[in-house]
Each structure stands twice: as C-alpha cells, then as structure tokens.
Structure 1
Amino acid sequence: MSGYSFLFILVLLLLTSAFFSAAEIALTASKKTKLQVLLDKGEPRAVKVMALKEQPGTFFTVVQIGVNAVAVLGGVLGESFLNGYLADLLRPLADPTLAQRLASVGSFLIITIAFIQFADLIPKRLAMVNPERVAIGIADPMLVCVRALRPLVYLFNGLANLFLRLFKLPTHSIELITSEDIAAMVGAGAEAGVLRKQELHLIENVFELESRTVASVMTYRDEVVYFTIAEDERSIRQKITESPHSKYLVCREDIDNVLGYVDSKDLLQRIASEDLSSVIRSLDRLYAKKLLVIPDTLNLSEALARFKEARDSFAVIINEYGMVVGVVTLNDIVGALMGNVVHPSDDDQIVRRDETSWLVDGVTPIEDVKKVLDIDELPGDGEYETIAGFMIYQLKRIPKKSEATEASGYKFEVVDIDNYKVDQLLVTRLNSSATSTTAPAQP
C-alpha cells in the first residue's frame, strides 16, 4: 500500500468515526423543546431527530457498531502499514528487534492519538455547541445506517435488553421536566443576559405559588379593620379615616362572628343619603357581599383557584378551630407573584442598613427573607410562615428583646417586642462562611 493510499483510508476512517461521535453527542444533548421550536419554524427533519430520540437504544447501538468497527480497521491499518514504515526508519538507528518494538509502540500511539483527537474530542465538542442543528444535519444519514444495520441492531439490542431485565434495570429513560430544571434554565438565561432581572424574579415567584401558603401574604387578624353592627357612626367614620381600605369586614360582636364585607364604594354611595351606622346594621339584609371563606392550609395557587371559582377578590382565612386568622385579597397574591414590579411598597418589610445587616419586620414572610438574603434553606422549613415564627421555632419559646440565634451564616437578633409579638429583627451576615445551624445565642 502506498503512502497516499494509507493517508486517504486513514482520513476516511477518521471522518467516519467523527460522524458517529458527533451523532452520539448531538442526539443525546438535543432537547425536545428546542426541536419542537425548529419544527414549528418549518424544519421537517426535526421530526426524524425526535423519532431517533424515542429509541435511544437503537441509535446508540448503531453508533457503537460504527465506532468500534472503524477503530478496529484503524488498528489493522496502522499495524499493516505504519508499523512497517516506522520499522524501516528506525533500523539504521537501533537493533532490529528494538526497532520493531519501537515501531509497534509508535504506530499504536499515532493511530490512537489521531482517533482520540480528530475522531472523538473535536467532533463531540463541535456537536455540543449546537446539538439540535447538528442532530438535524445527521438525521438522514443516521436513519440510513439504522436501516442498513437493522439485523445487527436487533441482535445487540436484544442481548442488552436481556441483560438489563435479568438484573431488573430500566431499559428506557423517562424524560421528565421538573420545576428545578426550568428554574436552572431560567437562571442560565438570566446569566447570559437573555432575561432581565425583573423577568427572572417573576418566573421564580410563579414556582413559589405552590410552596407558599396563603397565610404568608394575608393581613393578620390583629391588623384587620372591621365594623360591628352595634358600632356607632363616629367610630365607623374614624376607622375609615385612619385606615382607608377598599373592603371592610362586618361582624356581629367580634371578628370571629363575620357577617360579610362591604365595599368602600357602597359606603360612599350611602353616606350622602343615609346614616352610616344604619347601613352597617342592615348589612346582613341589604349590602352584604357573599363572603369567601378559605382555610389557612391552602397554598397561593389553590387560593388563586378559589378566587377564580368564586369570582371574588376578597376572602376571610380561618384555621382548623374556626377562628379568623386574617384576610387576603387577590391583590395580595398578585403582589406576591409580581413582587415590587407593579406593587412597589413605601414601607418595605426588609430594609438594608449596610452591606452586612438588614432590619426585618417580624411578620415578613420567611420566603421573602430567604430570597433577599440568598438562603436556600433554614432549619425547620415548613414549620412557620414568618421570620417571627422562625425565631420562635429556634428558641422554642416566645423571644425576648436582644435574644438571637444563628443559622445559615446569619445572626437573627430581636430588637423590638410588642406585647409578646416579635415586631422587628436585626439580621447580620456573619464573617465566617459557615452555613450550618448553631445553638441559639442567649443575651
């Protein structure tokens, strides 16, 4: 065999092996979602790629047959030509036996390096740059190889499936897309500049609708402004003036005996013509809206569905004992979803003091605290809704002023108490990089 013939056959084998290597990576790394986008844009070969991905065992078998066959032929070629060529070059420089051994080692290294570099590494790295496009380009040739090697594919696949079933191993992969996968893709898109910061926060908040309970966004019982049917007009006017809201609960004696609610616009329409207190007293007969009552165990997504079913935007939240724990509106849920994009707050619950410390209201939802502080997990996640609840969980009792605890690399210190209620905390990032929870610190 001449040197030109050797080089031609070697290049041909390298290209063949490169094709199979690129096909393997491209078909494995290509995503169905992106292939579907290409199909929608008018690329019919995307269907063929998706068909190949439905039977991964088939194209993997074809790839392995091709790669191994080419590797064997390359070894034979190196042994038959390159070995003798190198031996002739080395004989004047060394003993014939040593020259033959060095030629064998040299031919092995040359063929191996050539196949690793040009038939494996480079094609796979190029295929990883845009796997969907590469997969579309090799789809037709790969289908031809599948048909040509069908008998061998059937034989090898049958033996592989038999082995896997013998050891009770899965024979097919199930491609599932979880919320974590989507979040990771969104995060990568934000880092690449494809998504803006506001869009990233919005998508993250959508996934939190399933994990956050309705109690995390409600107006708490102690902060609910309500009227009683025995209340006089002066008191009602004072409440409206001091705490203007779009809706007010109306109760019989106290907040646990709710009759309904009244819209501010209905009150304004009646104020000019009737005594305001009489409007409230006759609420159960004339002006009461159908009251939506939901349990405090619902998450935000479930609460949103209840609002949609009831075609209402205001609900009372009760606990398992039938006591009112708070109220929630559709705007509260939208605010949790949109963050401060469309509902900027003039009275932020989390105020940054400097680079390492924050002042946090005790009623701040724990998910908001974790997001601002970039904390993945706190001790007892799911056992409390607010940062005050976290302090109670950590200390195992009602906190006192200046008491503190450390967790996830931060120190949480109570700075204000209002009648057993944790009103405000100071959160400070610790100098150490430790992220493990430590014992509660005593004053």
Structure 2
Amino acid sequence: MGSNGSLVVILLLIAASAFFSVSEIALASARRVRLQQLADEGDTRAARVLAVQSNPGDWFAVVQIGQNMVAILGGVVGEGALTPTIARLLAGVLPAGGVEPVAFALSFAAITSAFILFSDLMPKRLALAEPERWALRVLAPMRAAMTLLKPVVWLFNGLASHLMRAAGVREQPDDAVTHADILAMTAAGTQAGVVHAQEQQVIENVFELDTRTVESAMTPRSRIVHFLQDDDAAVITARIAQQPHATYLVCEGNIDHVVGCVDASDLFVRVLRNEPIALQGEPAKGLLRKVLMIPDRLTLSEVLTQFRQAHEDFAVIVNEYSLVVGVITLNDVMSTVMGSLVDPGDEEQIVRREDGSWLMDGLTPVGDMVRALGADPEALPQRGQYDTLAGFLMVLLRRIPRRTDRAEWAGFRFEVLDVDSYRIDQVMVTEVK
C-alpha cells in the first residue's frame, strides 16, 4: 500500500475511533431526566437510548471492541505511513544511518498525536458538551454495530459478567435520586446563575421539613396570647387591640387547660352586629370551636399532614405531660419554607454585623445557625436533642445560660447578650482566630 493509501486508511481509522469515543461518553453522560423529557415529547430515539442506559453492557462492549481494533490497525498501518516521506525529507540533512530511526520516531509521534487529538480529546469534549444530542445521533450506527458483532459481544459480556459476580460488584447502576443529589444540582444551578440563591434556599428548606421538629417554628408558650373563659367583653376587645392575631386560645383557669379557640374575625362580626361577646354559656355557641392538639415531637412535615387531615391551619402543641408548650399555624410552617420571601419586613433571626460577627435570636433554628456559620452539622453535640440556638447553648453549658455566659464550638464563640426570664433573647457569635 502506498503512502497516500496509508494516509487515507489512517484518516478512516481516526474517524472510526472518534465515533466510538463519542458513543462511549455520550451514553455515559446523557441525563436520564432530559432523555425522558424528549421521550415524552415523542422522540422514539430518546426512549431507545434510555433502554440502552438501563442495560449498557452490549453498547460498551462494542465500543471497546471497536476502539481496540482501530488501535491495532492504526499501529499496523501507521508504522510505515509517514516514515518513507519523512526519510526522503531528512536524507540530505542527517547521516544515512540515522535517517530511518529518526523518520520512524517522527512518524510515530505524528500518528499518535493525530489519534490523541482527533479521535480522543476532541470527540469526548464534544460529547460532554451535548451528551443527549450526540447519544441520539450515534444510536442508529451503534445499534447496527451491536447487531453485527452480537456473537463477539455475547462472548465478552458473558465473561465480564462472570468476573463481576465473582468480585461481588454491582452490574446495574443505582438510578435512585436522593435529596443530596437534588441539592447538589440546585447548588450547581445557583453557581451557574440558572437558579436564584433564594430559590435554592427554599428547596433546602422543603427537605428540612422532615428533620425539623415543630418546636423550631412554633410560637412558644411565653408568647401565646390567650383568653380565659370568664373574661368579659372589655378584656377581650382590649387584648385584641393590644395584641392582634388571627386566632386566640380559650382556656379554663390557666393556659394548660385548653377548651378551644376563637377567630378574631368572628369576634369582629359580633361587635359589628352589637351581639354579646362571651366565651362560655349560650353566647359562646358558634364562637368557640375545637382546637387541634399535636405532640411536640412531630416534624414540620407531619404537622402539614395533620393540618391537611383535620382541615385546620392552627394547632396547640403539648408535651408528654400534657402541658402547652406552644402554638403553630400553617403560616408558620410556610414561613419556614419560604423564609424572607413570605414577609421581607419581618425581623431577621440572624444578622451579620460589619465586624464579621453574627447577632442571633435565641429561638433561631439550629439548622439556620449551622448554615449561616458554614459549620458541619454532623459535629453538633447530642444532635436531635434540641431545635434552637438556646437549646444548643444549654447542651454546651450544661445549665440554664445567664447573661455574659460564653461557650465555644467548631471555632466559634457564643456569648449570651440578653436573657429575659431564663429565655435567651440574643447571642453574639464570633469566629475564634
């Protein structure tokens, strides 16, 4: 075969090798979600690619057989493809004894470089840039090659399967999409500018509903505005004017004996109609309604389920001793998910100061604290035993924190700035240098 014929063969081998490189990377990198979208839109090729991805053994066997055959043929043909031409060019420059070795080395380097660049690097980069598009393009010729080489593929696949089973290695990929996978994709989308930072935070908050307990979003006992059954109309209207809310607890004697709840809107209707306002006896009929009671160990996800089943948006939280520890509304849960998107005017629980320190409310959820500090949640002491920054400090100090108390964790110093009746109001967090 002449030099021109050898060069033509080498170009064909480079093209074949490039085809197999694209086929390998495209199938491995094609996103199943995107392929499923194309299949749902009526692209039958996408459905076939999905089927191949579920059982890719034959595909990759053909790729490896093709690439090895091309490599062997390339070595045979390329050995003398450029050597004579280069030797003629070097005949008048080098001594006679050194022409052949140098010509062979230069020919080998040129052929190898051409294969690396045009049959490996460039095709694989193209396939990585648009894997779904290239997977659809190479599907038909690869299916033909799989049919043509079926006996050889069957032999090598059988041997490979036996060796995989003997080694105890899984053959089928795990296609389950986990929470971590979704969060990783949204984080990548945020870095690429496709997903807004607030949208990513909302997605993270949604997944935290299964781990956050109701205590992290409730209104605590000390802040509950409630009525007693024997309160008269003047007391009720005055309290509504001073501390307006949508729903109020109604209790008998004290807050731990809940008899129901009343909506402020119903009270306003009574006032507008000049009807008597009372929370017991005959006037209370149609005004007082039953209240949903839930345990304090529920997660926010379970609270949403309770609201949906009971068709309620307000609940009282009790502990194992049947004492009221707080109340929670549907809006509280949604505020946890949406964050500042619900009401940007709300006072933030975490404020970054100019000197780099943080000012945090004692009721700040531990997850928000860890996220703000960029700390490792796995390093939290006695995880799961508390939900707020106040509880976290109680675990660190092993007592009820007092003003000016300090504790250190994970390279951060926590200093209690204000305590109100044993309740931690504000904590300053600084990084320990």
TM superposition score normalised by structure 1: 0.90
Identical amino acids, percent of aligned pairs:
45
Q: Which residue of 2 aligns with 1:407?
A: 409
Write the distance in 2 (CA, Å) between the matches of 1:70 and 1:228. Answer: 88
Instruction: Give the CA deviation at 1:78.
Output: 2.1
Residues 129 and 207 (structure 1), Cα distance of their counterparts in 2 relative to 1, 3 Å cut: same
Question: In the alignment, is the contact (CA less than 8 A) between 2:29 and 2:131 conserved in 1?
Answer: yes
**C-alpha RMSD of the superposition:** 2.3
Question: In the alignment, is the contact (CA less than 8 A) between 1:259 and 1:284 conserved in 2?
Answer: no
Question: In the alignment, is the contact (CA less than 8 A) between 1:228 and 1:280 conserved in 2?
Answer: no
Write the distance in 1 (CA, Å) between the matches of 2:43 and 2:23. Answer: 18
Q: Which residue of 1 aligns with 2:392?
A: 390
Write the distance in 2 (CA, Å) between the matches of 1:327 and 1:419. Answer: 20
Does 2:296 align with 1:301? Answer: no
Question: In the alignment, is the contact (CA less than 8 A) between 1:29 and 1:128 conserved in 2?
Answer: yes
Write the distance in 2 (CA, Å) between the matches of 1:209 and 1:236. Answer: 35
Higher mean displacement: 199-208 or 240-249: 199-208
Question: In the alignment, is the contact (CA less than 8 A) between 1:209 and 1:299 conserved in 2?
Answer: yes
Q: Which residue of 1 aligns with 2:315?
A: 315
Does 2:427 align with 1:425? Answer: yes
Unaligned runs of 5+ in 2: none
Structural mapping, 1:31-42, within 5 Å: 31-42=31-42
Question: In the alignment, is the contact (CA less than 8 A) between 2:49 and 2:139 conserved in 1?
Answer: yes
Does 2:353 align with 1:359? Answer: no
Instruction: Give the CA deviation at 1:103.
Output: 4.8
SS of residue paired to 1:279: coil
Unaligned runs of 5+ in 1: 433-443
Instruction: Give the CA deviation at 1:376.
Output: 4.5
Write the distance in 2 (CA, Å) between the matches of 1:262 and 1:280. Answer: 12
Q: Which residue of 1 aligns with 2:171?
A: 171
Higher mean displacement: 61-70 or 410-419: 410-419
Q: Which residue of 2 aligns with 1:379?
A: 380
Write the distance in 2 (CA, Å) between the matches of 1:150 and 1:23. Answer: 17
Residues 150 and 417 (structure 1), Cα distance of their counterparts in 2 relative to 1, 3 Å cut: same
Structural mapping, 1:22-33, within 5 Å: 22-33=22-33
Does 2:123 align with 1:158? Answer: no
Residues 160 and 30 (structure 1), Cα distance of their counterparts in 2 relative to 1, 3 Å cut: same
Residues 248 and 403 (structure 1), Cα distance of their counterparts in 2 relative to 1, 3 Å cut: same
Write the distance in 2 (CA, Å) between the matches of 1:38 and 1:164. Answer: 33
1:334-388 per-position Cα deviation (integer Å, ceiling 9, x unaligned): 1111111122343332233325123211112222333444444252343321111
1:19-43 per-position Cα deviation (integer Å, ceiling 9, x unaligned): 0001101100000111122233443
Write the distance in 2 (CA, Å) between the matches of 1:178 and 1:284. Answer: 51
Write the distance in 1 (CA, Å) between the matches of 2:399 and 2:429. Answer: 19
Write the distance in 2 (CA, Å) between the matches of 1:15 and 1:107. Answer: 19
Structural mapping, 1:175-190, within 5 Å: 175-190=175-190
Aligned partner letter, 2:380: P
Write the distance in 1 (CA, Å) between the matches of 2:74 and 2:60. Answer: 21
Question: In the alignment, is the contact (CA less than 8 A) between 1:91 and 1:99 conserved in 2?
Answer: yes
SS of residue paired to 2:79: helix
Q: Which residue of 2 aligns with 1:204?
A: 204
Aligned partner letter, 1:125: R
Instruction: Give the CA deviation at 1:9.
Output: 0.6
Question: In the alignment, is the contact (CA less than 8 A) between 2:7 and 2:81 conserved in 1?
Answer: no
Higher mean displacement: 421-430 or 226-235: 226-235
